[in-house]
Amino acid sequence: MKYVSLFIFILCLASCTSNYRIRTHSNAVENKTEFSFPYSAENLSSKLERIFSIQNQIENKIPLASSFHSGIYTAKVTKFNSETYQFDFKNISSNFWKSDFYLVNGEKAKTTGKFQIILTQTGVQSTNVKVRVTQLRVINGIECCGPHGRYSRYTDVAPTTIEEYAFLYFIGEQLGVKMPPVNRVNNG
């Protein structure tokens, strides 16, 4: 009887764990990951603090995916000098977006990430803005069992340029700078 109970427990434990293969769409055209804006680095830095305020993000969503995304990011700003700034972004709302590039179990993968924006002044009224993904992760299954039950399995994946350009596009849109739309897989 003792071994039957142990066998049933192991069988239940194994059945509540899932792991799916991560697939990708092909994306023939890459997006830009940097763009030059017509502002000094100091001026642009103060504008970005307003643009990435929680209130502005509630009113204007960062277009990380073609589907609805309501994530909110906080930014930690580091000023190296009057011509170089770095913004480190962290998702604080625990919301995910559905990736336009990664697929899990045949569906758009739930995705989360951390981003970094680096401002480098290149002229009196010109600043290069570079966006980097410091961590991009998708949920590709469920693990069992933590202290509160089942939990998601996160897998690190490679940046796609979709998310990087989405941040640049959001900045341009907020500044009134006309930019081409984000190139998404299959025009999603």
8-24 pLDDT per residue, tens: 555 444 445 566 778 78
More confidently predicted of 162 and 70: 162
The whole-model pTM stands at: 0.83
CB atoms within 10 A of CB 126: 15
Q: What is the mean pLDDT of the chain?
A: 85
pLDDT band with cut points at 50, 70 and 90 for residue 28: low
More confidently predicted of 174 and 91: 174
Cα separation, 164 vs 4, whole angstroms = 53
CB atoms within 10 A of CB 55: 9
Task: Judge whether residue 129 has pLDDT over 60.
Answer: yes
Q: Is 141 exposed, middle or buried (0-12, 13-18, 19+ CB in 10 A)?
A: middle
Domain at 2-187, CATH homologous superfamily:
Kinase associated domain 1, KA1 (3.30.310.80)
Average pLDDT over residues 55-72: 84
Average pLDDT over residues 106-122: 93
Note whether 172 and 178 are within 8 A (CB). yes
Task: Judge whether residue 5 has pLDDT over 80.
Answer: no
pLDDT in tens, 133-158: 999 999 887 766 666 666 678 899 99
What confidence score (pLDDT) does residue 20 get?
Answer: 72
Average pLDDT over residues 80-87: 94
